[in-house]
Amino acid sequence: MASKRNKILLGAAGTVGAGIISWRALFPWIGHDLTMRKHGGKVRKVGQKDIEEGRYLINMFEEAVAKYPKKPFVIFEDRVYSYEFMNDQANRVANIAAKWGLKLGECVAIMIENEPSFIWTFLGLQKLGIAVAFINYNINGQPLVHTIRACEAKVLIVGSGNILFQICSTF
């Protein structure tokens, strides 16, 4: 005959097991979420260390350009974009932004589909220290106007492919 203590332990183990099975049945992604949270914490620590050391994304990108100029940086559809090519495009964006009179700390909203021009536009603006607000390419009307007002963007860059448009207007 099992002791009272063993019965309590078996009951607790059964309750915990049933709870875990229930969570897994109701929330099958919970294990993935916990794993991603763990990895996210590690990434945040590394990112915080980089910020404290004054090492920013654009600096790391430029170091990689110097180290691997001809290596692939982005593979999109059937094209391969090297570090050097992406850097050249980012420099073009930075030059355009400088001609527009954009300054360090100002905000620019970009509304570009998921394609290489999104990356080089972002990197080009980062070269000047310009804050970037990413705007969902699929919104329009009042939600779009609200988003632009909320981020206080000086400029909205809308693009598709290699075309870049500047929309300067008071929203």
In this predicted structure, the answer to whether residue 170 has a pLDDT above a threshold of 60 is no
In angstroms, the CA 68 to CA 86 distance is 12
Least trusted range by pLDDT, from 31-35, 115-119, 125-129, 160-164: 160-164
Beta carbons of 74 and 60 less than 8 angstroms apart = no
In angstroms, the CA 109 to CA 158 distance is 9
Mean pLDDT of 55-77: 94
Q: Hey, how many other C-beta atoms are within 10 angstroms of the C-beta on 131?
A: 16
Burial 21-37, CB ≥16 within 10 A → b, else e: eeeeeeeeeeeeeeeee
Beta carbons of 93 and 121 less than 8 angstroms apart = yes
Q: Per CATH, is 56-171 categorized as 3.30.70.20?
A: no
What's the pLDDT score for residue 116?
A: 93
